[in-house]
Chains A and B, each alone.
Chain A
């Protein structure tokens, strides 16, 4: 599957998916009064209720406990006071009982020795002061002798029995509460024996009885409640048989004191609990059958029990108030919670609406982007409905298939397929429906019938509940071509590796192994071997170079981060033959700069190396030969120079002798010589001078050949002016017209160019000698971009038939009698021009003048 096509598809579908996911996101973000929220709310409220209930339970326990301890405190306080009161009473009695004075006084009274009033007064003071309501004094026989507060009428049988007991036992007794004889009011009696001591016998002189009205002190003490309470009550009880007797006056029952009884068997009764030995806090019912809580305490040294109690209802009332208060607080809390949640929800909703708006905008932009992508995509995008009718196609599709939009929309997808590819239609459809997407290669047909290969990515997409088929196709004509080209290139690559003996490898530093091309395996001779590590490479390297190559690889390449580039020897594994290879490799790094790979080539360069060695050998041989030749040439040159020197020097000396002595002969023997002899002498001298000229010219010729040449800018016009001035001096009688072009400037050797131009101009002046007016011209013209210089004269000219010969040495076009000359001048000119990489030639006709042309090396 083409990667690009996937990319395009991913892009298009990515845009659609993004738009859709955005919609989902919006939906998810909306605030809902969901069951979850309700549950949360319920949880919150029940949490509050449970918390309140818990708190209430706790409070209830605490309140009850508080009440109970309060009651206990009260009970303890009261019991202590009651005990105190009793001790005080008994104490009073004991003080009195042991008061011998009073006893004597009483005895005296009994014996009528003191008046009645005296004792009665004391009794009165005693009663008023100590809170006794009545009192009486009995004599030892048990007869009442003194009565205070009408006690005489209020003494019952039981009182008499008690008095007798006290008399016998000689001890102070505080009687229990009982109903008074006559009045029926509850009273208690303090019975005190009046004891006298005579010698060792203690005798009872009389018995006092002090009647205590509990209403005056004891009952108020019991009933007084230290704290404010609506229903609180304190009770004093005792057991009498199977009954509980209530001693004090009850709060809710009139005239109950000592008269009201309850059976012990009433289990939940607090009194029953008390008499059964329970002490401390207790909960039960009171005499009214009302639920109470209370505290029970036994009063020591007495048959009494004290109960402090309060109605349960009072406690419950308090708790009920608390419940109301907590209920109110809870209600307010719930209300506050609802308000908070409501506010939060409202806030969320506003936020949601806001985000929905922006998300909707983004979604629209994405849809637009998606549409744009589809419309202008470089791939063919076609959307078909479930009947496979095309419902949408992008511009690329129209362009590719060659249909108009109206034609394509509504037509069947299958019309785009070739007959052959249509055969696979149903199979593809099956896969498409199975996997919701498929990619395949096919061939499509254009409107004009031509076909083209495509790569198709098809998808089933559902839009608003309707199934559509979307295909994205790419024309792969070009790719098919390039694939073929690639295969071809790969083939050639492989072939060239083979031909060039170049193998390639890739070394993976992480794995420590390398992969190799076939050719590399051939070069190393490791076909069929599996091991490709650093060590296996080093094993292939020649023994002599192994350490060196390891060092090179690790230090100069890996550590230095440089390319591998080395020629080294290996021993081919397959046959043990020593070969030269040229290894090259480039290092590869990852993003973090970590060395990961080395990729490169290894070329078998043994042949080249051998050839190279051979070339080097040949080269050095050649160089040696060149050196030899150069030396030889230098020697020859030196010899030639020496020769030229001798020629110029030694050959001319005899000529000078011949000339000189011939002249001496003519001069000294003038008279002896006739005309003929003089003529001979003249000829001898002429020949000698010609020989001199010849030698000079030959020397010049050899010099221009050998001379070092220096290229500089030379003004030929100026040079010509100088030469013609010399010529005019040389032939003062002749009439010359020189026409010299100005500013002809060339690159050349001044000395050599001077010799050449001198020769040419000498020639021109020589061959114009028959003319009355010699016209000599120097100039330059340009032909085909090249400068051509010329020297023209109007002299005798020459026959062009021989023009080829004339630049050779000793070649003459005219007899020396006509025009003297050595025939070396033009040869010299030709050498000089040649040394300037130029050419010289002539155009002439007999009697019609001559023109010598030459070119020079163009300036660089």
Chain B
């Protein structure tokens, strides 16, 4: 069986790298797909645009979603994911620098599974990623497909 994949939606290249590094340090070897803006994330998930050839049933086991994104922001991506039949059950974890109450409230209203604020201290960040991966990819039972 193919290992569960993770979709990282993040526009900051430095953060992408650091996230990958944190995954590595946390010994999380799952396939990590990275898209750099909201539109791309939606194309990926709905198999459109340059991801049109992707197999639509091959959904990520976890979406790590930044909020402040070019083109379509993270909250809008979340809204579409939750309102589309094929993706509405996907576990989505917001991973962002924002601690704005508005962002928190909207995210939870839209049905986010978890909301994590990226700390400046990389140790803490890596720690959070490690826990996150462990929880969502190992401990947590994924939703049924379809």
Residues on A facing B (Cβ under 8 Å): 645, 648-650, 652-657, 659-661, 663-664, 685, 688-689, 691-692, 696, 699
11 contacts between A and B (CB under 8 A): A645-B100, A652-B118, A656-B125, A657-B12, A657-B15, A660-B14, A660-B18, A661-B18, A663-B122, A691-B120, A692-B120
Residue pair B120, A688 in contact (C-beta under 8 Å): yes
Q: Are A648 and B123 in contact (CB under 8 A)?
A: no
Q: Closest Cβ of chain A: how far from B83's Cβ, in Å? A: 25
**Are B122 and A659 interface neighbours, CB within 8 A?**
yes
Considering only CB atoms and an 8 Å cut-off, how many residues of chain B contact the other chain?
A: 19
The answer to whether B97 and A648 touch across the interface, beta carbons within 8 angstroms, is yes
- Is the beta-carbon distance between B68 and A660 smaller than 8 angstroms? no
Contact in complex: B18, A656 (CB < 8 Å): yes
Known: A660-B21, A663-B123, A692-B120. A653 touches B14 (CB 8 A): yes
Provided the pairs A659-B122, A660-B14 are in contact, do residues A649 and B68 lie with their beta carbons within 8 angstroms? yes
Sample of 14 further A-B pairs with CB below 8 A, known A648-B99, A689-B120 = A648-B100, A649-B67, A650-B97, A655-B120, A656-B18, A656-B118, A659-B122, A660-B14, A663-B123, A664-B21, A689-B121, A692-B119, A692-B120, A696-B99
Of the candidates A653, A660, A685, A691, the one whose C-beta lies within 8 Å of that of B97 is A653
CA distance A691 to B119 in the complex (A): 12
Residue positions of B touching A, CB distance < 8 A: 12, 14-15, 18, 21, 67-68, 96-100, 118-123, 125
Decide if A659 touches B121 in the complex (CB within 8 Å): yes
Q: Tally A-B pairs: CB < 8 A.
A: 62
Partner of A656, one of B67, B98, B99, B120: B120
Which label, helix, strand, loop or mixed, suits the secondary structure of the B interface?
loop
Where chain A touches its partner, the secondary structure class is helix
User: What is the bound-complex CA distance between A660 and B12, given in angstroms?
Assistant: 13
Which of A661, A691, A696 has its CB near the most chain B CB atoms (within 10 A)?
A: A661
Q: List the 7 closest A-B pairs by CB distance, nearest first.
A: A692-B120, A660-B122, A657-B14, A660-B18, A649-B97, A652-B97, A663-B122
Q: B15 and A653: CB pair below 8 A?
A: yes
Q: Which residue of A lies closest to B14 (CB)?
A: A657
A657 touches B100 (CB 8 A): no
Least CB distance from B90 to A in Å reads 24
Q: Give complex CA distance A650, B14 in Å.
A: 12
CA distance A648 to B96 in the complex (A): 10
Closest partner residue, chain A, to B19 (CB atom): A660
Note all chain B residues with C-beta closer than 8 A to A657: 12, 14-15, 18
Q: Which residues of B contact A650 (CB under 8 A)?
A: 68, 97
In the bound complex, CA of A648 to CA of B99 (Å) = 8
B24–chain A nearest beta-carbon distance, Å: 11
Complex CA distance for A699 and B100, rounded to whole angstroms: 9
Complex contacts, A661 vs chain B, CB 8 Å: 14, 18
Indicate the member of B96, B98, B120 with the most A CB atoms within 10 Å: B120
Q: In the assembly, what is the distance between CA of A688 and CA of B43, in Å?
A: 36
Are B12 and A648 neighbours in the complex by a CB distance under 8 Å? no
Which B residues are CB-close (under 8 A) to A649? Answer: 67-68, 96-98
Question: With a CB–CB cut-off of 8 A, which chain B residues contact A653?
Answer: 12, 14-15, 97
- CB contacts (< 8 Å) of B99 on chain A: these are 648, 696, 699
Bound complex: CA of A660 vs CA of B67, how far in Å? 20
> In the complex, what residues of A have CB within 8 A of residue B125's CB?
656, 660
Q: A645-B100, A661-B14 are in contact. Are A652 and B68 (CB under 8 A)?
A: no
Closest Cβ–Cβ distance, residue B64 to chain A (whole Å): 15
Residue in B68, B96, B120 whose CB lies within 8 Å of A659: B120
- Residues in B neighbouring A696, C-beta threshold 8 A: 99
**Cα A635 to Cα B79 with chains together (Å):** 27
B119 to chain A, nearest CB (A): 8
A650 and B18 alpha carbons, distance in the complex (Å): 16
B122 surroundings in chain A (CB, below 8 A)? 656, 659-660, 663-664, 685
Q: Is the CB of A656 within 8 A of B68?
A: no
Q: How far is the CB of A807 from chain B (nearest CB, A)?
A: 24
